[in-house]
């Protein structure tokens, strides 16, 4: 799923998130920043799956900007159900909701969802308001109590934060861990902590399986880990190959291209490059080799203010057809300046 939106960005770009659903009614209006709603599935099981998310949300919150962290405290006071506009987060939320609903249909994970829902409720991620979460969790638990599918021990074990703050990436400390033990399972704190830990690991392994292509079909942790290792190694090898290719293409091309493309912003990164950009890019490097100082001064600040204007596309087309010689250096400088404008027009 490729979500639009910016990772950790706070700009109101107005791109609608596909997963805004029922929880919109709970949105009481945020502070200075915009927040999008998380994917709130309709059924309770889905929401517990959402609650299952927070272990992974810890990763996201680490990466969200500090402003979101400061916002979190205001969020608590406001009591708004808002979530950081992290496409990463929502991606995982949607994924988990899908997984949870699937699991619920299988009917074997209801206990798990409650345990994991209780666990995340205490690994409390900053941007999740406590009120809505706990009241929803209470609703979930009521529902789970009513449905006679599982027999649970009504024993809530409170363990200290030590066990929960095992994983160092979670930096919030909450006093209690409410864990519900299933029937026939040991309820001493050790095995509960062990179980919570295992479920955390399983949750993250699920995410990994989604990330790595072709891992969903594989059964068993060992093979999945194998695939993950292979994937990481192949990615690393690809980076090496690409840097080799880039280095061998042209002595100057890497520097120039980056300068040019940096001024294009994200629009260029999203899709494939249009052919025109290539044509526009190449003469600039040629010029660089011939007029290194002149051009370097032009390009020195990365976010370039291209001062020239006036050249239009036909002129540019003519230029590239000609031999890229020294004659048209000035013209090329001017036409190079048109490059960002033109590309923006095209894109």
Partner 1 sequence: MQPTSSMKEEFLKKWQMGLQIYRPLIDNTSVSERRKAIKLSADVAMASLRKGTTCWSRALIQKTATEDNFLVRQMLSGIKAETLINKKLPKVMCHRKIVRRSKMILRRRQSRSAIEEVAAKARKLIKKKTQGLRNVVPGGEFMSNDVLLIQETLDYIVSLQTQVNVMRSIVDAAEAGSER
- Span interacting with partner 1, options 119-127, 149-157, 174-182, 235-243, rule CB under 8 A: 235-243
Q: Does 347 bind partner 1 (CB under 8 A)?
A: no
CB-nearer residue toward partner 1: 102 or 226: 226
- Residues that bind partner 1 (rule: CB under 8 A) add up to a total of 83
Please report, as residue ranges, which positions from 310 to 339 form the binding site for partner 1 (by CB under 8 A): 320
What does residue 312 show for φ and ψ, rounded to 5 degrees?
Answer: -115, 180
> What is the maximal distance between C-alpha atoms in the chain?
86
Residue 61: name the closest of 92, 31, 32 by CA. 92
Binding residue (CB under 8 A) for partner 1 from 302, 307, 310, 314: 302
Q: Which three-class secondary structure state does DSSP give residue 8?
A: coil
CB-nearer residue toward partner 1: 11 or 312: 11
Please report, as residue ranges, which positions from 155 to 184 form the binding site for partner 1 (by CB under 8 A): 166-169
Please report, as residue ranges, which positions from 60 to 119 form the binding site for partner 1 (by CB under 8 A): 62-63, 87-88, 91-92, 95
Q: Does 194 bind partner 1 (CB under 8 A)?
A: no
Q: Please report which helix (H) or strand (E) contains residue 154, including its range.
A: strand 152-159
Residue 199: name the closest of 126, 119, 106 by CA. 119
- Span interacting with partner 1, options 31-39, 150-158, 195-203, 310-318, rule CB under 8 A: 195-203
Q: Does 147 bind partner 1 (CB under 8 A)?
A: no
CB-nearer residue toward partner 1: 44 or 53: 53
Residue 120: name the closest of 84, 172, 44 by CA. 172
Q: Does 218 bind partner 1 (CB under 8 A)?
A: no
Q: Does 247 bind partner 1 (CB under 8 A)?
A: yes
Tell me if 113 sits within 8 A of 155, measured CB to CB: no
Task: State the residue for tokens 């095995």.
Answer: 191
Task: State the residue for tokens 């680490």.
Answer: 62
C-alpha to C-alpha distances, 344 to 266, 276, 335, nearest whole angstrom: 11, 11, 14
CB of 21 to partner 1, least distance (A): 20
């Amino acid at each position: 799923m490729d979500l639009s939106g910016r990772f950790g960005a706070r700009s109101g770009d107005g791109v609608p998130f596909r997963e805004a659903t029922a929880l919109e009614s709970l949105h009481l209006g945020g502070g200075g920043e915009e927040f999008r709603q998380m994917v709130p599935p309709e059924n309770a099981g889905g929401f517990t799956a959402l609650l299952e998310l927070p272990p992974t949300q810890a990763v996201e919150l680490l990466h969200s900007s500090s402003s979101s962290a400061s916002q979190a405290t205001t969020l608590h006071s406001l009591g708004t159900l808002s979530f950081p506009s992290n496409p990463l987060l929502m991606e995982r939320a949607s994924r988990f909701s899908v997984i949870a609903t699937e699991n619920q249909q299988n009917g074997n994970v209801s206990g798990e969802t409650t345990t994991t829902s209780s666990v995340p409720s205490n690994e409390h991620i900053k941007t999740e308001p406590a009120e809505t979460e706990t009241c929803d969790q209470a609703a979930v638990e009521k529902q789970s109590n009513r449905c006679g599918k599982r027999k649970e021990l009504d024993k809530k074990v409170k363990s200290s934060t030590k066990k929960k703050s095992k994983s160092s990436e979670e930096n919030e400390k909450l006093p209690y861990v409410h864990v519900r033990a299933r029937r026939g399972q040991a309820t001493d704190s050790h095995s509960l902590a062990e179980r919570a830990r295992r479920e955390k690991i399983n949750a993250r392994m699920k995410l990994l399986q989604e990330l790595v292509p072709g891992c969903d079909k594989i059964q068993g942790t060992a093979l999945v880990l194998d695939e993950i290792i292979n994937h990481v190694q192949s990615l690393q090898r690809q980076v090496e190959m690409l840097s080799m290719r880039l280095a061998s293409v042209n002595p100057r091309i890497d520097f120039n291209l980056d300068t040019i493309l940096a001024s294009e912003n994200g629009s260029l990164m999203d899709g494939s490059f249009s052919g025109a950009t290539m044509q526009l890019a190449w003469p600039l490097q040629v010029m660089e080799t011939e007029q290194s100082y002149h051009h370097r001064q032009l390009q020195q600040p990365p976010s370039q203010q291209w001062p020239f204007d006036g050249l239009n596309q036909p002129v540019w087309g003519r230029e590239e057809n000609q031999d890229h010689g020294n004659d048209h250096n000035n013209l090329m400088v001017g036409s190079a300046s048109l490059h960002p404008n033109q590309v923006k027009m095209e894109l």
